[in-house]
Copies of this chain bind each other. A is one copy, B any other.
């Protein structure tokens, strides 16, 4: 990797500012939980695994700050957990990471210095396990891709969406590393263009062949027989295998089915929400309509136009050919594989 999405210094969190990519590569430094919450909300950092990792460090920063001011660390932790949990509703990794940190905290003695150190170790573990999970997903998933393949991806499920290496792009990286000839078609992914800005940038850095398209071109490529597989990440997966992911994913999945092209999802176990029966229960974030009506800060649609701007959609399990996890590849029936994963 020629860049670090998330870096921990011991008393600050460094985040590559993804709002400014690919034009400018700048790193922002956060020394408090409020800053980290803002970074998640405004998408300085984004991607389900990455925001889980960032939130974990946000909690560490909250406790470190409380200690410096001689304030009770448990109260600071609780307040930060609530604030961080309120930033974005769909990706479950955020809640999973906060919950894991909360469990660690509840077992700790009151000693503030010890608590801070132990929580820091836990956050570092979350980061390192995510990296490891991505490498494992890569190894498992690479086998799914043909030796010579054009692969469609949507949004960014890469190193930038995780602690590093990536979920869907991790699978692609592993396939390329294994000597496969992979050409990636990158959906630009409106409205925030994570495909054009982030995925194309990541792949170019790694010299992985790619072609950028607008989202509405994927159907033509599928119809023309130019796509061998699609692979995307996930923000939350329900117990039955329904997948919430960036808006547009559902359309890709349906179009893959119609054109008999496999549609794969790569996500760590932490993205699966065993508490949720189906995708119907996944809260879908709606964001400001200005993301659609404005480009580069300038209005492109008529003033006052109504906008619908859901950030995610849900792909029913029946459209998912397989879910690549760090524990192996789950194939239909996905519900059974998910049950086994949580046994």
A→B interface (CB under 8 Å): 22-23, 154, 185, 187-191, 193, 196-197, 200-201, 204, 209-221, 223, 247-248, 250-251, 254-255, 258, 289, 292-293, 295-296, 298-310, 313-314
Contacts and interface: CB of A to CB of B under 8 A. Distances in A.
28 contacts: A22-B301, A22-B303, A23-B299, A185-B308, A188-B292, A193-B300, A196-B300, A196-B305, A197-B300, A200-B302, A200-B305, A201-B302, A210-B305, A210-B306, A211-B306, A212-B305, A212-B308, A214-B215, A214-B247, A214-B248, A216-B247, A217-B248, A217-B310, A219-B251, A219-B254, A219-B313, A221-B308, A295-B296
Given A255-B255, A258-B254, A295-B296, A307 B212 contact: yes
B196 A216 contact: no
Contacts of A295: 295-296
Nearest to A221: B308
A258 B259 CA distance: 12
A318 to B, nearest CB: 12
Copies, count: 2
Contacts of A215: 190, 214-216, 248
Nearest to A223: B250
Contact of A251 (B255, B302, B307): B255
A70 to B, nearest CB: 47
Contacts of A307: 211-213
A228 to B, nearest CB: 16
